[in-house]
Copies of this chain bind each other. A is one copy, B any other.
Amino acid sequence: MHTDAVKWTSSGAVYLLDQTLLPDETAYLEVDTIDAMVEAIRALRVRGAPLIGVAASMGIAAAANRMAVDGSLPGEKTAALSWLESACDTMARARPTAVNLAWAVNRLRSAVVERLSTVNDDDTAEVMVRTLRREAQRMWDEDAAMCSAMATAGAVLLPAASSVMTHCNTGMLATGGIGTALGVIRMAHEQGRVKEVYACEARPLRQGSRLTAWELARLDIPCTVVVDSAAATVMAQGRVNAVILGADRIAANGDVANKIGTQNLAIIAKEYGIPFYVAAPTSTFDLDAASGVAIPIEERPADEVATAEGVKVYNPAFDVTPAHLISGIITDRGVIEPPYGESIRRLFD
């Protein structure tokens, strides 16, 4: 069964499935302010690189809509754009690693600036609200389409009746569509190419055992959860034919920032000669980052990892997998292969 992680309410607010409560509870929360959306993104109520871009855009549209209704959205063009500028900046700073967030709000801002350039002050508020809503919806629709395109491009990489390992969550809870890596897996399962999935737990916040397992159960795709530390055992025992997971940012040389533990899996997969695939839409590439070194890595609060009193915790939420460990990157424009510097350049030509 498909579940939307975000929805519009009839009044133009955003309904968010609160992912921190899954799999025990399915509860939506209504968001129509910038602050509430920033809180939801920071607290990982909504998460997944592509989805936070979509959700942030929808949040800005919902906030503008509410303000227009209660009369607090500036009618004068310069003031309205100044509000939008500030809203976009605040949203973009909510989380640092996934480039899709900055990419989405920049696109949203540009769309409004362009549209407003030909509009009188009288129409500013109305046109801004309409443009924000339309552009946010467009990004959502495009993200869904990119998911389908990735699934089509990636599924054929997997031999019949494969068993695959994945990490974190990259499905309908992480995107506006069927998912990145999990979308590939879903389509490959429909084609008889995937018979089972090993989902790594993904400590500390357990997006694998909580979210991916929940999604796969709803889709009737056989899933076995393992702790992250069991990866070498599972691979050494020949239980998986491929590893496939998502990305939060891909540098121009093919280095991939993704959920902490991705780098572990890539190294272990290499040791056992298992293909290691990354699935990500073109909105995840950051050509301004020459390599992984340029990607900011979010450190999350220490209390996500409980320990004894007075003991320090180092809690990076992401790691950077060097390009040389990656067998292929599945994008909405096809699968690219090493050398990535070149294949990524061609992707954006």
Contact = CB atoms under 8 A, between A and B. Distances in A.
Interface of A: 22-23, 198, 200-204, 206, 209-210, 213-214, 216-217, 222-234, 236, 259-261, 263-264, 267-268, 270-271, 305-316, 319-320
Contacts of A312: 222-225
B309 A267 contact: no
Contacts of A204: 227
A298 to B, nearest CB: 12
Count the copies: 2
B226 A228 contact: no
A224 B210 CA distance: 26
A349 to B, nearest CB: 32
Contacts of A271: 267, 270
Nearest to A230: B260
A267 B235 CA distance: 12
Contacts of A225: 305, 307, 311-314
Given A203-B228, A233-B316, A223 B23 contact: no
A310 to B, nearest CB: 5
A263 B311 contact: no
B203 A227 contact: yes
A232 B311 contact: no
A217 to B, nearest CB: 5
Given A209-B305, A267-B267, A305-B209, A202 B229 contact: yes
**10 cross-chain pairs, A with B, having the tightest CB-CB distances, nearest first:** A229-B261, A232-B263, A23-B308, A214-B308, A213-B311, A209-B307, A203-B227, A213-B308, A224-B312, A233-B319
